[in-house]
Amino acid sequence: MIQASFPEIQEIVIQKLTAGLSDKLTYHHVKHTLDVLEQCQIIANLEEITATEDIFLLKVSALYHDIGFLDTYNGHEDRSCQIAEIDLTEFNFTSA
């Protein structure tokens, strides 16, 4: 069972990105993450994805997609997955 709400998760991720992203990143910044989140929701609507859990997971994935830039440029995708796995475990996400 997931114990954190989407707004709670979003607030934590945005705080991390705001505090930790390099000023040298001219594209992968908080605004980019929020745009990806918005586009994800638009695409889900167009694809008629309506299941609450599916929408929730898509939105969480959008938030975490570039969080690896906090630690590294090269290999940020893998690092994003690692950070998400750690954080989402703390939010009581499970693999099933």
With contact defined as beta carbons under 8 Å apart, do 6 and 59 qualify? yes
Angle at 43 between CA 78 and CA 85, to 5 degrees: 25
Q: pLDDT tens digit string along 37-70?
A: 999 999 999 999 999 999 999 999 999 999 999 9
Q: Is the pLDDT of residue 7 over 60?
A: yes
Cα distances (angstroms) measured from residue 95 to each of 14, 32, 46, 69: 24, 27, 27, 24
pLDDT-derived band at 6, boundaries 50, 70, 90: very high
| Burial class of residue 9, CB neighbours in 10 A (0-12, 13-18, 19+) | buried
Where exactly are the structural domains of the chain?
A: 25-90
